[in-house]
Amino acid sequence: MAKAQPVARAPDTPAHRFRGQIEAAVADGVSPEEMILRLTLRDTHLLSRDRTTPLDDISYADGVMRYLGVRVEKGGVPDSILDRGAAAL
């Protein structure tokens, strides 16, 4: 009898983890301009180098990195989080 093949898991990348959170926040009425994606330095590096993330999802302008329109702050946090801004209060 043949062995069952393992089920492929979705990659646990910053892009994969935060896409759903950002989409949920937008669905709740929060604009991407209100949010801040606070990433560890490691997650920032992984996000910017992720070959599976479409090029249109990440942008750089005026020294600011954005993912799905959300400003990315690099470092200074022990764990990466999506800050919904004033809408979270």
What pLDDT was estimated at residue 85? 85
**Comparing 26 with 2, which gets the higher pLDDT?**
26
pTM summary value: 0.81
Q: Nearest-CA neighbor of 19 among 60, 45, 50?
A: 50
Please answer whether residues 46 and 52 qualify as being in contact, where contact means their C-beta atoms are separated by less than 8 angstroms: no
pLDDT digits (tens, 9 = 90+) for 13-64: 899 999 999 999 999 999 999 999 999 999 999 999 999 899 899 999 999 9
Q: What are phi and psi of 55, to 5 degrees?
A: -60, -30
Per DSSP, 13 falls in state -
Query: For residues 10 and 66, what is the distance between their CA atoms, to the nearest angstrom?
Result: 23
What pLDDT was estimated at residue 25? 96
Please answer whether residues 65 and 43 qualify as being in contact, where contact means their C-beta atoms are separated by less than 8 angstroms: no
